[in-house]
């Protein structure tokens, strides 16, 4: 396989930017910027997320069986970059972002225009990112989008010319 062609072709897949969060009963918090996300079923409502297999977020989601997927909106590049590194909890903030507990206990970022709370339905453990299948148990919209909802999401291409995924 031509490595350059593979990299270019896979980088043509568009990605939204999200923050996956989880918190256990001991107060341990994980939050990670993720972008391999899609809805896979309407009934029941299911989402899938590719999560780095050796990350703290993956370990905590596996342990708790619940998580929240916080949608980042246009202009939230700072939040996206803030969760590229391990989360730091300080009072009611995670890595400087205010949050509150969702119905399932997972952190909901106060600045997120929308979020879904999920229970882990299944994990497909293969490759360097494992696929977490989550059943949506709650949906929250803090800011109604103007126009198409899918146009309100922060996209990978908005993080700068040197930030890519794929390949």
CATH number of the domain residue 46 falls in: 2.30.110.10
* Residue 70 maps to a domain: yes
For residue 20, the cross-strand partners are 32, 69
* Residue 166 maps to a domain: no
* Residue 83 maps to a domain: yes
What is the residue range of 77's domain?
16-157
Residue 167 reports pLDDT greater than 90: no
Give residue 91's pLDDT.
Answer: 92
User: Can you give the pTM of this predicted structure?
Assistant: 0.92
Mean pLDDT of the chain: 92
pLDDT tens-digit map of 58-75: 999 999 999 999 999 999
- Burial of residue 49 (CB within 10 Å: 0-12, 13-18, 19+) is buried
User: What value does the mean pLDDT take over residues 88-108?
Assistant: 95
* Residue 53 maps to a domain: yes
Nearby residues of 101 by Cβ (< 8 Å), 6 or more positions away: 23, 107, 108
Note whether 115 and 66 are within 8 A (CB). Answer: no
* Residue 11 maps to a domain: no
Give residue 78's pLDDT.
Answer: 93
User: What value does the mean pLDDT take over residues 85-104?
Assistant: 94
Report the C-alpha gap between 107 and 80 in whole angstroms.
16
* Residue 119 maps to a domain: yes
* Residue 162 maps to a domain: no
Total count of domains within the chain: 1
């Amino acid at each position: 396989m031509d490595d350059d062609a593979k990299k270019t072709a896979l980088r043509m897949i568009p990605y939204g930017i999200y923050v996956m969060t989880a918190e256990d009963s001991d107060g341990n918090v994980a939050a990670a910027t993720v972008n391999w996300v899609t809805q896979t079923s309407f009934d029941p409502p299911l989402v899938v997320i590719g999560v780095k297999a050796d990350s703290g977020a993956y370990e905590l989601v596996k342990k708790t069986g619940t998580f929240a997927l916080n949608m980042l909106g246009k202009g939230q590049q700072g939040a996206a970059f803030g969760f590229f590194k391990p989360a730091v909890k300080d009072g009611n903030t995670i890595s400087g972002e205010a949050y509150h507990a969702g119905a399932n206990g997972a952190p909901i970022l106060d600045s997120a225009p929308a979020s879904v709370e999920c229970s882990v339905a299944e994990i497909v453990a293969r490759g360097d990112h494992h696929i977490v299948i989550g059943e949506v148990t709650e949906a929250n919209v803090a800011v109604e989008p103007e126009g198409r909802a899918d146009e309100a999401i922060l996209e990978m291409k908005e993080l700068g010319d040197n930030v890519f995924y794929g390949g």
